[in-house]
């Protein structure tokens, strides 16, 4: 075990994957010997050579097109998109290509070796274009897996699973936590199951569902609620596609109350999917409406970020409102 921050955990996963198989490639804008603007890929060129970890020209649709082709050839392609906000030029290659590659060919071909890494989220004074949480844009896409770790330990194990999973995986890294989140992480290889939610804390009064960096807000809110004697169960969804509705439903059948929180704007976010599914599965158990605690329906602003941010106080208020409904 070693103390690592989230970036180091990612870097360690990439390192292990590249050591494990010669067919693992890592690339993106500035990800070559420079190691990426966040340095997630640093050291990899020195270790594995400039043909295994390299810079791409500045073209996200090309990065994903190239990655799809490389994965279809049987390689493991790990493509970094510098910021989640810049993934949209690659939307067609991801949604119409990666996700449908196996199905449309009747399994003659697949891009299972593809992993897309991208930092997402706010809280870093990044304004419109360095703060978005675009996961819901992808969650409507059968064929894709979506994974979002909340801390270094999860990040490493999940990324290793994602890289070698036989399906294309979108792996979204909470950049606010890149350096802020540290913890004990095994130095060797280990994997964590995709598609499985993680009960971070057990409780009996109310369930909070979150993913990625937002789990921290859920925890802080639960701590505060505990002072009021409210006992929250916290579920980290971990994977948004396919997602583990059973674990959430089981929890809500126990607690009778659900608060879902996400960084992204409210409307048509993934919290809506969770609420829609759980009201159906747990209809007779619910004691109050499922609450969604989300960003406002505006672009992500710079100057009122503190107010816009979905902090623990907002989650806490939703918990209280649900308890006193």
Ligand X SMILES: Cc1ncc(C[n+]2csc(CCOP(=O)(O)OP(=O)(O)O)c2C)c(N)n1
Choose which of 50, 246, 289, 304 interacts with its own copies (CB under 8 A).
289
Q: How far, in Å, CA of 279 to CA of 111, rounded?
A: 35
Residue 18: which residues within 8 A CB-CB, separation 6 or more?
24, 26, 44, 47, 48, 52, 53
Half-sphere exposure of 85 (CA within 13 A, CB side): 12
Contact status: 166 vs another protein (CB under 8 A)? yes
Q: CA torsion 302→306→312→313, rounded to 10°?
A: -140
Contact status: 299 vs its own copies (CB under 8 A)? yes
Tokens of 88: 């949209």
| Residue 253 interacts with which of another protein, its own copies, ligand X, none, CB < 5 to 8 Å by class | none
Q: Is 189 part of the annotated catalytic residue set?
A: no
Rg (CA), the chain: 19
Residue pair 149/198 in contact (Cβ under 8 Å)? The answer is: no
Residue pair 258/286 in contact (Cβ under 8 Å)? The answer is: yes
Q: How far, in Å, CA of 185 to CA of 4, rounded?
A: 6
| Residue 304 interacts with which of another protein, its own copies, ligand X, none, CB < 5 to 8 Å by class | another protein
**Strand segments (E) across the chain:** 2-5, 24-28, 53-55, 76-80, 114-120, 145-147, 169-174, 182-185, 198-201, 206-210, 232-236, 239-241, 258-265, 291-295
One symbol per residue from 42 to 71: x for binding ligand X (CB under 6 A), - otherwise; what is it? Answer: ----------------x-x-----------
Contact status: 266 vs another protein (CB under 8 A)? yes
Instruction: Catalytic residue, from 130, 135, 216, 263: name it.
Output: 130
Contact status: 43 vs another protein (CB under 8 A)? no
Specify the DSSP class assigned to residue 31: -
Choose which of 51, 107, 108, 142 interacts with its own copies (CB under 8 A).
142
Residue 206: which residues within 8 A CB-CB, separation 6 or more?
225, 230, 231, 232, 233, 255, 256, 257, 258, 259, 319, 322, 323
Choose which of 11, 41, 82, 262 interacts with ligand X (CB under 6 A).
82
Q: In this structure, what are the phi and psi dihedrals at residue 208, rounded to the nearest 5 degrees?
A: -115, 130
- Compare residues 36 and 203 and give the one whose CB is closer to ligand X: 36
One symbol per residue from 249 to 288: x for binding its own copies (CB under 8 A), - otherwise; what is it? Answer: ---------------xx-xxxxxxxxxxx-xxx-x--x-x
Choose which of 3, 21, 73, 140 interacts with another protein (CB under 8 A).
73
- Compare residues 256 and 305 and give the one whose CB is closer to another protein: 305
| Residue 43 interacts with which of its own copies, ligand X, another protein, none, CB < 5 to 8 Å by class | none
One symbol per residue from 205 to 244: x for binding another protein (CB under 8 A), - otherwise; what is it? Answer: -------------------------------------x--
Q: Considering the complex, what minimum distance in angstroms separates the CB of residue 172 from its own copies? A: 15
Contact status: 136 vs its own copies (CB under 8 A)? yes
**Contact stretch for its own copies (CB under 8 A) within 5-13, 50-58, 132-140, 149-157:** 132-140
42-101 residues in contact with its own copies (CB under 8 A) are: 61, 85, 88-89, 91-92, 95-96, 99-100
Burial class, 133, CB count within 10 angstroms (exposed 0-12 / middle 13-18 / buried 19+): buried
**Contact stretch for another protein (CB under 8 A) within 62-70, 146-154, 196-204, 230-238:** 62-70
Q: Is 51 part of the annotated catalytic residue set?
A: no
- Catalytic residues, by residue number, are 60, 130
């Amino acid at each position: 075990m070693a103390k690592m921050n989230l970036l180091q955990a990612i870097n360690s996963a990439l390192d292990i994957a590249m050591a494990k198989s010669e067919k693992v490639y890592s690339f993106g804008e500035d990800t070559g010997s420079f190691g990426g603007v966040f340095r997630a890929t640093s050291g990899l060129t020195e270790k594995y050579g400039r043909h295994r970890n390299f810079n791409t020209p500045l073209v996200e649709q090309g990065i994903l097109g190239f990655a799809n082709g490389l994965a279809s050839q049987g390689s493991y392609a790990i493509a970094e998109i510098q910021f989640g906000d810049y993934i949209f030029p690659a939307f067609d290659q991801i949604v119409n290509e990666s996700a449908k590659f196996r199905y449309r060919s009747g399994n003659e071909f697949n891009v299972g070796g593809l992993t897309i890494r991208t930092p997402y989220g706010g809280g870093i004074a990044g304004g419109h274009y360095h703060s978005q949480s675009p996961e819901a844009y992808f969650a409507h896409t059968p064929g894709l897996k979506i994974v979002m770790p909340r801390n270094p330990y999860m990040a490493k194990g999940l990324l290793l699973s994602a890289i070698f999973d036989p399906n294309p995986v979108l792996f979204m890294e909470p950049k606010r936590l890149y350096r802020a989140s540290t913890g004990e992480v095994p130095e060797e290889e280990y994997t964590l199951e995709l598609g499985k939610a993680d009960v971070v804390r057990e409780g009996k009064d109310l369930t909070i569902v979150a993913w990625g960096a937002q789990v921290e807000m859920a925890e802080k809110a639960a701590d505060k609620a505990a002072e009021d004697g409210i006992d929250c169960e916290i579920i980290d969804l971990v994977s948004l596609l396919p997602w583990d509705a059973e674990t959430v439903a089981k929890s809500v059948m126990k607690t009778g109350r659900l608060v879902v929180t996400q960084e992204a704007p409210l409307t048509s976010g993934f919290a809506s999917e969770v609420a829609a599914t759980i009201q159906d599965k747990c209809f007779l158990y619910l004691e109050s409406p499922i609450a969604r605690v989300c960003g406002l329906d505006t672009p992500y602003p710079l100057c009122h970020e503190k107010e816009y941010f979905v902090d623990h106080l907002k989650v806490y208020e939703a918990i209280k409102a649900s308890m006193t409904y």
